[in-house]
Amino acid sequence: MDKLTLRIQQTSEKVELYFSGVFTLHNIAQYVAQVDSLHLAKKNLVIHLEDVTAFDTAAALFVQNLQKKADTFNTISHNPEIQENLLLVKNQANIFTASHTERRKSFLFAIGKRVEEFLVDFGLFMEFFGKVFFASFDYLIHLKHIRYKEIAFEINESAIKALWIIALTSFLIGVVVAYQSAYQLKLYGANIFIVDMLGISILRELAPLITAIVIAGRSGSAFTAQIGAMKITQELDAMQTMGFDPYAFLVMPRIIALMIALPILIFVADVMGVFGGMLVSYIDLGISSHLFLERFNEVVAVKHFYIGIFKGPFFAFLIASIGIFRGLQVKDNTQSIGFNTTKSVVMSIFAVIVCDAIFSIALTTLGI
């Protein structure tokens, strides 16, 4: 294999490198230190490759890196293969730089896009909230406009048909909380205090929160799917064409029905949750139902029950509003229904948890 030789000529403004022989990966390393010692900044670099007999992409990369260090550069070669390798490396470097720049732009673009989508959604939700406010104001002024039959139908769909799942879920929550608490209380001989913990935690926090989360997944998603399907089939447009207000006929009955139904469901959740805890207390701790209820009446203030019921209409308004709003955002394809249904459930649960946290902080601060 022919060796690679390098001859250097330099002046104050110009550096000329004369390569000859085999210029490949195997023999570049011997000249790296020598070339790196050259001060190429603010100089004109000329690379002579006329006497090179073999030239690969590693040599092309080496030449390209040299060119980056110089102020101006020129590569002299009459061999088509050498020119092709130099052009190939140059094009690949341009592609990499462009893709790297595009990735940075796309990352910033994605952040900006998310912020824009959030602001647009927030603006649309505020517009929806305003229309709901005016529709409710019209209900209060003209009681004859209230859709009693539709409200009763939605109460049946949202509350009566959801009783069994709420009752079962709350019962199991009471059982689980009681079992976990009983193990710790037995260690200290404080069995009777399970009544205090169950009564306050279930009535005040767990029953309203669990009920709202279940209803968000059940009724909130149903609202989104129903309204979305009506929008795709252009039923909403048909209603408006015939002079019917969708907010009076579709939105308000669902919101009012859920605001009436959720406190009822929370009451059922309270009863079943306490019953589940009482059952475990009897089985695991030997606390009779009579003793449990007597202790419950003594230590659990009625305010905890009222606070849990009081949260119901607020949770219901958030769940129904978000579910209907996402339904109105459905586009003209079935995929959009699935996307908005998922989004409505996530947003509803998040909104309920935030609302519950605000209630907890405010009521604790007020000493209630």
173 lies in a domain? Answer: yes
Same-domain check for residues 173 and 238: yes
Q: Is 367 left (phi over 0), alpha (psi -120 to 50) or beta?
A: left
Same-domain check for residues 150 and 86: no
Per-residue pLDDT, 89: 72
State the average pLDDT for the chain. Answer: 82
* Residues of the chain above pLDDT 70, percent: 92
Q: How far apart are CA 355 and CA 311, in angstroms?
A: 9
215 lies in a domain? Answer: yes
Same-domain check for residues 175 and 314: yes
Neighbours of 181 (CB within 10 A): 22
pLDDT tens for residues 171-184?
Answer: 999 999 888 888 78
Per-residue pLDDT, 14: 79
8 A C-beta contact, residue 184 and residue 286: no
The residue from 57, 72, 91 where one domain ends is 91
Q: What is the mean pLDDT of residues 255-282?
A: 91
Looking at beta carbons, which pairs linking 77-84 to residues 24 or more positions away fall under 8 Å? 77/48, 77/49, 77/50, 77/52, 78/50, 79/49, 79/52, 79/55, 81/55, 82/49, 82/52, 82/55
351 lies in a domain? Answer: yes
- Listed ranges 73-77, 140-144, 352-356; the one with the highest mean pLDDT: 352-356
177 lies in a domain? Answer: yes
**Which residues constitute the domain of residue 340?**
146-365
The residue from 49, 66, 91 where one domain ends is 91
Helix runs in the chain, H state only = 32-36, 57-69, 80-141, 148-158, 163-188, 194-201, 207-215, 221-232, 235-241, 246, 252-280, 289-299, 302-328, 334-365
101-140 core/surface letters (b: 16 or more CB in 10 A; e: else): eeeeeeeeeeeeeeeeeeeeeeeebeebeeebeebbeebe
pLDDT tens for residues 67-115?
Answer: 777 666 777 777 777 777 777 777 776 655 555 555 555 677 778 778 8
Dihedral sign for Cα atoms in the order 356, 359, 364, 368: negative
102 lies in a domain? Answer: no
Report how far apart, in Å, the C-alpha atoms of 15 and of each of 46, 52, 69, 118 are: 6, 18, 12, 57
pLDDT-derived band at 2 (thresholds 50, 70, 90) equals low
Same-domain check for residues 206 and 81: no
Domain containing residue 30: CATH number: 3.30.750.24
Q: How far apart are CA 114 and CA 315, in angstroms?
A: 27
Same-domain check for residues 274 and 170: yes
Same-domain check for residues 49 and 163: no
pTM value is 0.68
8 A C-beta contact, residue 57 and residue 87: no
134 lies in a domain? Answer: no
Q: What is the mean pLDDT of residues 299-306?
A: 88
8 A C-beta contact, residue 219 and residue 157: yes
pLDDT tens for residues 8-43?
Answer: 777 777 777 777 777 776 777 776 777 777 766 667
Per-residue pLDDT, 40: 67
Same-domain check for residues 55 and 164: no
β-partners of residue 14 are 44
Which comes out higher in pLDDT, residue 239 or 270?
A: 270
Residue 31 DSSP code:
G
pLDDT tens for residues 312-324?
Answer: 999 999 999 999 9
Which comes out higher in pLDDT, residue 314 or 197?
A: 314
Same-domain check for residues 303 and 219: yes
Q: Which of 56-65, 260-269, 338-347 has the lowest mean pLDDT?
A: 56-65
Q: Are strands 44-55 and 72-76 parallel, antiparallel or unpaired?
A: parallel
pLDDT of residue 1 exceeding 50, the answer is no
259 lies in a domain? Answer: yes
105 lies in a domain? Answer: no
8 A C-beta contact, residue 287 and residue 188: no
pLDDT of residue 191 exceeding 80, the answer is no
Neighbours of 275 (CB within 10 A): 16
Q: What is the mean pLDDT of residues 1-5?
A: 67
Per-residue pLDDT, 72: 67
The secondary structure of 173-222 as a DSSP string is HHHHHHHHHHHHHHHHT-GGGHHHHHHHHIIIIIHHHHHHHHHIIIIIHH
Same-domain check for residues 80 and 156: no
8 A C-beta contact, residue 4 and residue 27: yes
The residue from 91, 110, 138 where one domain ends is 91
End-to-end CA distance of the chain: 91
- Listed ranges 185-199, 222-236, 259-273, 289-303; the one with the highest mean pLDDT: 259-273
Same-domain check for residues 290 and 220: yes
HSE-up of 331 (CA within 13 Å, CB side)? 4
The secondary structure of 316-352 as a DSSP string is HHHHHHHHHHHHHT--SSHHHHHHHHHHHHHHHHHHH
Helix (H, G, I), strand (E, B) or coil at 9: strand
Same-domain check for residues 69 and 216: no
Q: Are strands 5-10 and 72-76 parallel, antiparallel or unpaired?
A: unpaired
pLDDT of residue 117 exceeding 70, the answer is yes
For the chain, the domain total comes to 2
pLDDT of residue 201 exceeding 80, the answer is yes
Same-domain check for residues 199 and 283: yes
